[in-house]
Amino acid sequence: MVKPKTFVIALAGDNPVYYAGAIIEGKVILELSEQKKMQGISIVMSGLAYVCWSENYAIGTGEDQRTKTVTYTDSETFFNPVSIQLCGNGRDSQNVAAGRYEFPFKFQLPSSNLPTSYESKTGYIRYSLTSTISRSWNINHTTKRAITVNEIVDINTPYLAAELSSSNEKTLCCLCCASGPISLSVTTDRGGYCPGESIAISTEAENHSDSRVSAVQASLKQEVSYYVDRHSCSFRKVVQKVEGPGIAAGRSSNWSKELLPVPAIVPTIDSCRILKLSYYLVVTLVIPGARDLHVSIPVTIGNVPFRGQDHAAHNGNSYIPPPYLPQPHTENPPSASLTYSAVYPPVYIGDDNYTMGETQYAPVYGFVTDYPFVTPSYSEAVVKVMGGEN
């Protein structure tokens, strides 16, 4: 079987990402070095999520004990696959002479919310174009290309632009004696951020104990969860971290808008049934010889840059699409600009060894390039501790 010399899907324009309702235009390019018999050429647009993982369970007892592996898998389709017949009728064979051919196509993504593209070993959210040369009594030729779709997550909505606060405390015990409490209050300047912006963290930490707090740490943690019926698995990792000085016994330490830069990461995903991605800011008082004290605040990672508190406070519906999309309104453009890049290495998306085209794919996400950073600060003060210094 001789493959076509060229069989690729080329997209029109320079769009790094697409959004719900966007038009996807391009052409299928076919170049044959010899005459080929085919029933036709078609192209299909699809969007779906897929998850798969395995878990090992011990069954039986004693000498009869063995390990059983259970695989959990599920998929979710975001819209019915849309197909266009580019050449032929898909049933009757015809001879196509050697040469170069171009077949234009146009699709429109559904206007309903579409979860953001995501790729991992355990699951993915993928939107792809697949073109097929149908051949009677022969293996079909296929070419594939994935596109990046981002769900709009606008951090300028009032509930994401508002401050978030949480607190926690604990008491250290030594034998039958208890020292004074250690307390921590945390406030963030808002609840939503874009990659490239910074979380401004303010804290009030008081150490009324007789022990030293060795460090104050702030971490941005990512959690990816996969679901199949009543089963789930999750993966967590720290994507960014800052650390400040410790707190001596009988003292307090305050952060005033300490900045935690948000790195290039995937926006929050909450609209997919079987795959969700979330983030938490965790501030920790590290206590040697005891359990650390944590305060956790959920944060949303978005893709519409922050435009200031005044804008968020007066605009309950602040979505402004990127400039390369048809815009329902173009006033008040975003005050920050985005660049787009991949977060993870590309993965192979071909169906088999015969798949042609762009079979290496990595989704891309926006990063704010001109966020105004400020100098962070913290202060330390003496607090009154029973039995300690004033």
CATH code of the domain containing 139: 2.60.40.640
Place 387 in a pLDDT band, splitting at 50, 70 and 90: very low
Q: State whether 141 and 224 are in the same domain.
A: no
pLDDT the model gives residue 221: 98
pLDDT the model gives residue 174: 60
Residue type, 306: F
Side by side, the strands of the sheet bearing 215-228 are 192-193, 293-301, 275-286, 215-228, 231-244
Is 194 within a domain?
A: yes
CA 185 to chain centre: 28
190 Cβ contact list (under 8 Å, min separation 6): 155, 160, 161, 162, 163, 164, 306
pLDDT score of 321 more than 70: no
Q: State whether 133 and 24 are in the same domain.
A: yes
Interstrand relation of 215-228 and 231-244 (parallel, antiparallel or unpaired): antiparallel
pLDDT score of 384 more than 50: no
**Secondary structure element (H or E) that encloses residue 241, with its range:** strand 231-244
Place 370 in a pLDDT band, splitting at 50, 70 and 90: confident
Span 56-64, average pLDDT? 81
Q: State whether 198 and 344 are in the same domain.
A: no
Residue type, 138: N
The SS3 call for residue 158 is helix
The rounded mean pLDDT for the chain is: 86
Is 1 within a domain?
A: no
Q: State whether 227 and 250 are in the same domain.
A: yes
DSSP 269: B
Is 329 within a domain?
A: no
pLDDT score of 176 more than 80: no
Q: State whether 283 and 206 are in the same domain.
A: yes
Considering only 126-135, 269-278, 353-362, which range has the smallest mean pLDDT?
Answer: 353-362
Q: State whether 254 and 216 are in the same domain.
A: yes
Is 91 within a domain?
A: yes
Q: State whether 195 and 121 are in the same domain.
A: no
Question: How many structural domains is the chain composed of?
Answer: 2
Is 331 within a domain?
A: no
pLDDT the model gives residue 158: 92
Is 362 within a domain?
A: yes
Is 80 within a domain?
A: yes
Q: State whether 236 and 353 are in the same domain.
A: no
Q: State whether 251 and 141 are in the same domain.
A: no
Structure tokens at 62: 């004693």
Q: State whether 208 and 351 are in the same domain.
A: no
pLDDT score of 85 more than 70: yes
Is 389 within a domain?
A: no
pLDDT the model gives residue 335: 45
Question: Which of 209, 203, 214 has its CA nearest to residue 166?
Answer: 203
Place 351 in a pLDDT band, splitting at 50, 70 and 90: confident
Q: State whether 134 and 281 are in the same domain.
A: no
Place 19 in a pLDDT band, splitting at 50, 70 and 90: very high
Q: State whether 50 and 177 are in the same domain.
A: no
**What is the dihedral angle through the alpha carbons of 285, 287, 290, 293, rounded to the nearest 10 degrees?**
-10
Range of the domain at 24: 6-151+337-367
